[in-house]
Chain A
Amino acid sequence: MAQFRVCPDSGFYFDKSAEQLMKVNAVAGVVCLLLAGIMALGVILTRWQTIHLLPADMFYTALTSHGINALIFWIIFFEIAVLYFASSTLLRCRLAAPRWAWLAFALMVTGALLNNIAVLSGKSSVMMTSYVPMQAQPHFYLGLILFAVGALIGCFVFLGTLVVARAERSYEGSIPLVTFGALTACIIAIFTIASGAIILIPTFLWSIGYINHIDAEMYRVIWWALGHSSQQINVAAHISIWYLIVGILFGARPMSEKVSRFAFLLYILFLQLASAHHILVDPGMGTEWKIFNTSYAMYLAVLASMIHGLTVPGAMEVAQRGKGLTKGLFEWLRKAPWDNPVFSGFFLALIIFGFLGGITGVVMGTEQINLIIHNTIYVPAHFHATVAVGTTLTFMALTYLLIPVLFRRGLFLPRLAQWQPYLFAGGMLLLILFMLGAGTLGVSRRHWDIGFSGALLSFEYPGTAYMMMAMAGVGGVLGVVGGASFLLVTVGSLLFGPKLEPSAGILESFGIRPLAAGVYDVERPERLAMAQKLPVEQHGSGGFEAPGTFILAMLLLVCFVIYYFINWDYLSSVWPMG
């Protein structure tokens, strides 16, 4: 029974059920992103003190909804699509247990709906973290649990597909690096979901009265094994997508399979320890526990990220140099397709993730430095650099690729798509920088009014703090416009984008007869061959394969070192304590 179609442009084989599941999961994710974006506007326009749009209760509802939809639902729906792509499509293999995958999807949709109903009713404004003993409605927790169970089933469908691919010998040699990265994300996801189950199931039982007490500190410790690790799934997933994008756009191959895979392995081993970042100024944790965990055991996961930071653009540089772009240090980068949103989205995400997200994350996760940063608006600034730009912009870039390849549509408003990554990244950059600044001045996160209206006592943040929150507001609004442009292009493409004819002409130029789109006439795809061995060539300089990337990496290191010690200096100015 034939069940695969070949994408005539990319050469990817799509299993029929995998394709449908990727589509529905990606679309569900985008719907959640829409909701998250609407809420983002309410949040940022309220924190811009001169506008102060929403009343307090609506603000906290919007903030809860924004957090959960953006950080959990949008990203995990999309990641499930990525897992199916990285297994079934990349390995040219049928999806294992598609019925289970549909059950997973149904559970995730039900869970997301239940949770959103609880939040939007205004009676579960407990923030994404839902720290006990503050209580949400039972269906708030139940929704999260159902969603997590669905995602867990999705993870096992991914693992099952790897087993099927191996058993049916659909590829030669080892799994590709991109699939290896997706496997890393999947393993971290399983750990994450298990932690979530351990804490959310008792919390649900507590909310319906079966359990009368949940220890507040225990909740925080275990919840963060869910809360932080869920964001580590993103790191592994979006770095895999970076490797995929440089592979597709430039024909890049990893500089070294060994090094890149070793870096992913370090993530599996150490990344989850970072849950401790959230517990550094909590009562009751020992110093050794904090130092070991907050540093991912001697910063071994940071080492992994620094490795990817070199090898992703490095792979691109080597490929570009191989095509003759060898002038100077940066011709390979200057002559990159900056008007292609797949490239610009990926590259902006890489830079902002590394320079802002990575550095701020390590700084505020330093045991003692955390006490000048904990719960200030510096924290959301950090994770907007990592998740809102790093992950979300990467997923947007990938979507521009999936619209023609998976959905077989041309882009609607392609000019807007060209500008969208710059608009989104530019807006978010402003938001991030000014929130970092305001956080350094002590401005609180999750706070309706930093003017403290109605308080018995009084306090005034410095005027600069207000100015910075206003500038963050400008950035946030630009970011929302960028996000809306993405949604417009995506939804517009699916509804009105030109249907791609069987082929956009890429294959004909090689004399191959194109297959009609949507015709599942391939019973068994040709086995995925190993990459060809390349002749040993040297296009770099001074013995370096990627000298430009190496300079960029050194620039990152210099910024990192300077900013790290600036923060120690700042710490040394506060009251002595111990």
Chain B
Amino acid sequence: MSSFQPPADRLWWKTPVGKDEIIWIGIALVWCLIMFFMMPYWHLYGKQNLSSEAYQTTPAKYKASVDAMVERYKTGEEKGIPIVSPPAGSDIYVMGRLWQWYPILELQKGSSYRLHLSSLDWNHGFSLQPVNINMQVVPGYEMVLNITPDQAGDYAIVCNEYCGIGHHTMLGKIIVKE
């Protein structure tokens, strides 16, 4: 026995450390620093970064922004949900509510947009598939992401934050056109 006995040396903090441990601690520390600096590096040179732009809002205020966009840029409807085609570079809005993502957005490939996300009720999870971009959508907060869809196609927004019994029916859509 020993790991559960008091250390053999009363001054255990003054005992020498073996070669294995010193080398390993050195290697591990270097690796930890590399991992740490990868994050700021990616902010400078990488293309996929999280924005820290966000605003406090209220459900009514956010819904008003969404409705204004829908009224202005609505181009069609699918199963009762408006399809909206806002111009490149504009502010676009997606709203999560029980149990729907609203509205359907139609975007141009290669153009950038300011995507606003918020929820009218509970927490929701914005999970864009199959590209696999996942964001937390929190009521009372409006997050803004600058996105540039770089592939055309139909994308689904799955809700991946549990939001009650109809959670699995909460699907939305983003269409990216050539």
Interface residues of A (CB under 8 A from B): 11, 56-57, 60, 90, 127, 131, 133-134, 171-179, 215-217, 220, 243-244, 246-248, 251-259, 261, 279-287, 290-291, 294-295, 298-300, 302-303, 306-307, 310-311, 314-315, 362, 366-368, 370-376, 440-442, 444-450, 452-459, 461-462, 528-534, 540, 543-547, 549-550, 553, 557, 560-561, 564, 568, 571-572, 574-578
Contacts and interface: CB of A to CB of B under 8 A. Distances in A.
A576 B123 CA distance: 25
A441 B35 CA distance: 24
A576 B165 contact: no
Most buried by A among B1, B4, B21: B4
Nearest to A571: B48
Contact of B6 (A283, A376, A447, A528): A528
B70 interface: no
Interface string B1-41: 11111111110110101111101110111011101101110
B3 A246 contact: yes
Given A176-B4, A375-B125, 14 more contacts: A216-B138, A254-B7, A291-B39, A367-B42, A372-B134, A374-B134, A442-B158, A448-B168, A528-B5, A529-B6, A530-B5, A530-B8, A531-B6, A545-B19
Nearest to B154: A459
B171 interface: yes
A375 B161 contact: yes
Contacts of A303: 25, 28-29, 32
A295 B169 contact: no
A66 to B, nearest CB: 13
Contacts of B80: 456
B150 interface: yes
B31 to A, nearest CB: 7
B61 interface: no
B171 A533 contact: no
A577 B118 CA distance: 18
Instruction: Provide the main secondary structure of the chain A interface.
Output: loop
Given A178-B4, A251-B2, A256 B133 contact: no
B69 interface: no
A56 B168 contact: yes
A575 B2 contact: no
Contacts of A172: 6
Contacts of A306: 24, 28, 31-32
B138 A256 contact: no
Contacts of B143: 282-284
B79 interface: yes
Contacts of B156: 457-459
A171 B5 CA distance: 9
B1 A283 contact: no
B91 to A, nearest CB: 15
Interface string B147-159: 1111100001011
A302 B32 contact: yes
A173 B136 CA distance: 51
A578 B139 contact: no
Closest 6 CB pairs of A and B: A247-B3, A253-B2, A459-B156, A299-B32, A283-B143, A283-B54
Interface residues of B, number: 93
Given A257-B15, A310-B21, A447 B31 contact: no
A124 to B, nearest CB: 12
Nearest to B56: A284
B100 interface: yes
Contact of B20 (A284, A285, A458, A546): A546
B147 A307 contact: no
A53 to B, nearest CB: 15
Contacts of A248: 1, 4
Contact of A252 (B3, B117, B130): B3
12 contacts: A177-B7, A248-B1, A258-B15, A279-B136, A282-B143, A283-B117, A366-B39, A367-B42, A453-B169, A457-B78, A458-B156, A532-B8
B125 A529 contact: no
Nearest to A461: B129
Contacts of B128: 575
A448 B167 contact: yes
Contacts of A314: 20-21
Most buried by A among B81, B100, B141: B141
B19 A543 contact: yes
Contacts of A444: 125, 127, 158-160
Nearest to B173: A457
Contacts of B1: 11, 247-248, 251, 531
A375 B127 contact: yes
B162 A60 contact: yes
A577 B32 contact: no
B75 to A, nearest CB: 17
B73 interface: no
Contact of A544 (B19, B139, B165): B19
Given A216-B123, A376-B160, A574-B132, A283 B3 contact: no
Contact of A259 (B4, B21, B159): B21
Given A251-B1, A366-B35, A576-B150, A257 B129 contact: no
B39 A255 contact: no
Contacts of B168: 56, 447-450, 452-455
A372 B98 CA distance: 24
Contact of B130 (A179, A282, A376, A442): A442
Most buried by A among B7, B50, B150, B159: B7
B7 A174 contact: yes
B170 interface: yes
Nearest to B57: A283
A448 B147 CA distance: 30
Most buried by B among A173, A251, A540, A568: A173
B65 interface: no
Contacts of A549: 20
